[in-house]
Structure 1
Amino acid sequence: MQLVRSPAFAGLMPETECVETGDGERKYTSKVFPYRDPETLDTVEIGEGIITVGEREQIICTLKSRTFMHAGKRRPKPEGTALLTGLVFCAVPGCGRRMHRVGGSYQCMARRAGNQCIGASALAEAVDQYVSEQFLTKLPALEPGDPLLIAMADRWARRADPQTLVRRDVLTAEIQDEEARLADLEEARYVRGEFSGAAAVERYNRLSERLRGRIEGLRADLNRVPMPSADLTPMLDGLSLREAWADATNEDRRGRLSLALDRVEVSKGVRGQRLIPEQRVRIHWAAPV
């Protein structure tokens, strides 16, 4: 990866966010801000910088996507070929663990591991057919502006162009930080009365003007970063959707399902009774963030 010098945030002295843990200690997060002079709110520069704060976030995001997160641990098994692998969960109260296909059934892994769960189990083919039909029926019936469509478009965009979404997220976070600074400054003057006298009011005006200018500039930067577009039209046409579904692999189908739903929960049944999906299977559809 090549790092390019950028005039923005050049040489900024970093300030790392920290949070308090339950035992009273401080723990540093991975979020880093440029350090600002408490009097002028100007960024403090030391030497010559190499990358911007936004570029740093993009690099971290890229590295995370390439890093094996299970180093030193038992390597996880590859995802199964079952349709709902990673999406189906046990609905027994107090459990909520993943279910995996074992033979012809989805079974609660907590139960199989000997944990304290009575263990939900359901015929995989019946659950797959029910969830598939609900998906294939629900999408073509959605109206423009439906919350599910908004959530699906956002997930699609994040998959198609993650770097652009990272840039937008970084700018949005910076805007929120600056707005919080401005709100605190206004509270200091109008609520806590910390700015009294002509000199103090002049200082308040100077600081608030800089913050408002900073917020305006960040919003302009955000507007210049286009929101990735997602064409969901093929998924909203009933005939096209069913044709694509019939030709797709379970991996492809699972990818489409994960755009539209968060999880599928299966409750405990009664031994010997036929599975009635409407009674035991609950689909949690995606919602806008």
Structure 2
Amino acid sequence: MSRRQPAKRVLRAVLYLRISDLTDTSTSIPRQEKAGCRKAEDVDAKVVEVYKDEDKSGYHEYVKRPGFDAALDALRDGRADVLIVFKVDRATRQGIPQAAEIIRIVYMTGCRFISIMDGIDSANEGWELQLTIAAHQAHKESKNTADRVGDLRRNERDAGRWMGHRPYGFRVTPERKLELHPEEAETIRVIAARVLDGETLRSVARWLNLQGYDSPRWASRKERIKQLESKGEPLKVQKLREKPMKSPNSWSWPVIRRLLTSPTMAGYLPHKGEIYRHAETGEMVRVGPEILSFADYSQLRAMFGHPVPVHWTRAAIPGGRSKDTKRPIRGLLADFLYCGECGSRMEYDTTFSRNGSPVPRYRCKRRSMGGRCPGVLMYAHNAEDLVAAAVLSRIGALEPDDPSLLAIAQRWADQAEPDAAARRAELEGLIQEEERFLERLEDEKLNGLFKGQRGEARFRRRYQASNDRLEQYEKELAGLPSQQSVNIGFIDEIESLAKSVSHLVDR
């Protein structure tokens, strides 16, 4: 009798496929899948699942890749014996840390990892080193690309060219400039007029929804679909139609606030929420025509906690705390100076003394902590005197309607009327707190914490009471002296201003 041969175990393989930018003419995904199936046959494995991530970056950590996570879970749960990728850079471009996770899973489960184009197979000796080197190289390639793109974007910003998605109220020309979208621009003007007349953002949002205006996100999607249809790209049209909206087609008060405070409303190029200034000249860069006058735009910014456009302020008097870092301010230039060698913050140091008296200095914080930096060091009085002289010279050359001059005037007025300034800051904080509370209430209601008639009644009472307080705060804030009507007559008192600045420096 012949002995029965034991059945040969069939390996279960999963394929992982990824492409960063899927287009109608792209063949990358089919080619990756074909090569993966062929490799599975070579190692006597059966493909049981194919995981894909389309239009997903493998470099940025904030990008979620459900296909890659599912492929790794299949290995962890024992539902697969082999993971096959076309190339390591398809699996990851995040460098050695993510490669180490793949190695850990292979060690823990005994599964097999194969990268076709790199010739990596965990069944071979030294595959860990091969994977680590390939992952590092993939990360470096992406980083170099990101650096080149960053440099390109800086040049494009200096030239005043638009690089993002179409902003509401505008169309993007082939030269990457902005031109007005007549209907949407008129909608923005109506919104601004109602807000400047004293209506709350919430009431304006309700009115827009009742009138049936498309929200900015929805309007941009409709415009994009029209463009893709005219270009004959049905795959992208289908993907865009199927992509879920993060929020419904409705206006909300945060949308209106972001819209009205965007520099594009005044025709300027935005960057990190402010008007972009040319890297060499420091001039504000225009990107298209204005929808709102600069005066209206400035007033709107002031209403929402920005005293003057493109002007960053903080509690600069030593003895207070920075509004941004919350650290105590001991020197006038704290939070503003950075090391010219390594880019670290310059700290205010009073430990050095000469003839028994302390000599304040600004020094590189990395250097002081033992970091690898030759360090930058300067005496505090020299740096502060230089900045004070430059500020006074600049003030004397400003036009009466210059935004910087208006900001200085506001600070001057706040010193003259500290009670009004303190109340304004207090009201702005109360308004922000009430808005956060209303957002929490809305989230809790969506999560089902207010159930039944009693829960609904309790939600309404709390929501209405908070909304009443919010409107009361906004009304009182609107009744305070307008920040844009401050007196700039101090420009004729430069000597007094110089003494004031000198007093701060001496402190």
Normalising by the smaller structure, the TM-score range is 0.3 to 0.5
Per the normalisation by structure 2, the TM-score is 0.25
The structure with higher relative contact order (CA 8 Å, sep 6+) is: 1
Q: Whose Rg is larger?
A: 2
Per the normalisation by structure 1, the TM-score is 0.40
